[in-house]
Structure 1
Amino acid sequence: MAETGLRSVRDEETRAGDVITADDDFIAEGGHPLHVHEFHQFLHVPVGRIVVTALGRDHELSASVALWIPAGIAHSARFGADSVIAVESFDADRFELPYQDVTTINITDAQRRLVLGRMRSTCAQDEDPEVFAALSAGHRNCLPLPQPTSHTAGAVARELARTPSDPRTATEWAENLYTSSTSLRRAFRAETGMAFSEWRTRLRLNHSLSLLEQGQLVSSVAARVGFVSTNGYILAFRRHFGQTPGAYVRNSLDRSA
């Protein structure tokens, strides 16, 4: 993964007096140490997984979860030898990124095709405004949601994406797909890093964001995305987003204003 525009940085997360300097050996085989870019950077990992650490948090990237790193934020990365990393960089003076912090996004099929097409192209224009617009579009508050890759778990994920309110348990899904519930749960855990129930909760919460912003009542949103009770939806929303759905709506209105 070639990197340019790196500069020395003194970061509060490093020991006092430590300064990290970029040189020809800056990027090691398994990653690179803490550094800062003077440009915005978009990272996509079509093959393998990498972990980017910034401001004390780890962000795991996969084929379905990409990352925006705004200019000026110190970060490091760890990646395996089998990882393929697509990088798009944009001048911070020319492009206004809608994200203030390091932000994971659930990359869409259209965004994935765009990035992979540019990797294969020999005449792709750097810092293309249309590419920036396409990659920075999307809901900024969505929870990271890695997609399972196996046939059975992937089929369940696609059906739930179409109908988040589907009440079937992992056992019932497994019976419909002629597999064991243990195998299905194991696949979700191995391929997404989370249990089936947690993955489904995140999916439902992500779907609920646009419904809230449309002005629908919290109780209606909870039912539409599959929560058994409004209170259960509010508790899950607060646990994942740090605020209630009502507070989220008020903050969204303030941002729009």
Structure 2
Amino acid sequence: MTETVATPEVLADDEFIADWGHPTHAHDFHQFLYVPLGRITVTAHGREHRLSPSVGVWIPAGVPHSARFGPDSMIVVETFETDLYPLQHTEATTVNVTDPQRALLLGRMRRSAPGNDAEVFAALSTGPRASLPLPRPSSRVALAVAEQLSRTPSDPRTAAEWARSLHSSSTSLRRAFRAETGLAFSEWRTRLRLNQSLELLDRGYLVGAVAARVGFTSANGYILAFRRHFGQTPGAYVRRSAARSA
């Protein structure tokens, strides 16, 4: 006897939304979720996507997903019809939200009349396709480190050295990164360096020069980290980017 696996019914949000979140469901439209305050976790196909004020998620039409809301979370939802707005993603995909995108999303919340959906879709679809999700910490010391590293990713200081320079402890700094971003300090810094390397690769810098500029001690270490996180080498990324542009 063949077992039939039921698929989630396509429902409107207000039919099943609860204080804690959403049970598993799917939509017949594309959806972009953003959390300007608090945090939520979206689960799709067994994979968790943690959203924060610096990370949003695209959920393509038909993808079953659920959501858990953190306390006092504010959620921004943008929806797009599939026949009008073709989405490059086929799975739920987290993306980094830039300051201009954040301003646009919050501005939409303040308007009583609907804005230009095409403009919003285009704005939310910009940015490096391969960019790794990188939540920003919120506490004073961790945020100061994150901002300085964003300006100078090649800074070689360890967590202990950063903590001393900001009159804190390395334990507190590491705990803050883990609690506020879901990532260890070293992993957060690696993701930052890899994300910033994408722009340099797009601008035509050689792999060795890119590795040095973003803080890797060797080109080989950079290539290994790039392949581990992006599933391809920097050279393959450059070739595919060139092919897409062509």
TM-score (norm 2): 0.92
- Structure 2 match to 1:37: 27
Preserved contact between residue 8 and residue 26 of structure 2 (Cα < 8 Å): no
Counterpart in the other structure of 2:110: 120
Residues 40 and 89, structure 1, Cα contact 8 Å, conserved in 2: yes
Structure 2 gaps of 5+ residues are none
Map of 2:153 onto structure 1: 164
In 2, distance between residues paired with 1:18 and 1:114? 38
**Which of 44, 55, 59 is the aligned partner of 1:65?**
55
Q: What is the match of residue 4 of structure 2?
A: 16
Q: How far apart, CA to CA, are the structure 1 residues paired with 2:138 and 2:160? A: 19
Please, what is the CA RMSD of the aligned residues?
1.8
Task: Determine if the alignment matches structure 1 residue 106 to structure 2 residue 96.
Answer: yes
State the shift of 1:147 in Å.
0.1
Q: CA deviation at 1:25?
A: 4.4
What do residues 78-99 of structure 1 show as CA deviations (whole Å, max 9, x unaligned)? 2234221100111111112233
Match of 1:241 in 2: 230
Q: 1:185 aligns with which of 167, 174, 189?
A: 174
Find 1:211's aligned residue among 189, 200, 219: 200
- How far the C-alpha of 1:235 sits from its partner, in A, is 1.1
1:88 correspondence with 2:87: no
Listed one character per residue, the Cα deviations across residues 189-221 of structure 1 (whole Å, up to 9, x for unaligned) are 111111111100000000111111222111111
Cα distance in 2 between the residues matched to 1:129 and 1:31: 28
- Mapped contact 1:99–1:140 kept (Cα < 8 A): no
Count of residues paired in the alignment? 242
1 CA distance for matches of 2:232 and 2:188?
Answer: 20
- 1:170 & 1:20 partners in 2: Cα distance? 45
Matched residue, 1:26: 16
Identity %: 66
Q: Any conservation in 2 of the 1:29–1:81 contact (CA below 8 Å)?
A: no
Q: CA–CA distance in 2 between the matches of 1:104 and 1:73?
A: 14
* Distance in 1 between residues matched to 2:53 and 2:107, nearest whole Å: 15
Any idea what the Cα deviations from partners look like across 1:98-129, whole Å, max 9, x if unmatched?
3333221110111111111211221233x521
TM-score normalised over the length of structure 1:
0.88
Native 8 Å contact 1:212 1:249 kept in 2: yes
What is residue 185 of structure 2 aligned with on the other side? 196
Runs of 4+ with deviation above 6 angstroms: none
- Once the two structures are superposed, residues 51-93 of structure 1 have per-residue CA deviations (whole angstroms, 9 ceiling, x without a partner) of 1112231111111100111222222222234221100111111
Letter in 2 for 1:158: E
- Alpha carbons of 1:17 and 1:175: their partners in 2 closer, same or farther (altered >3 Å)? closer
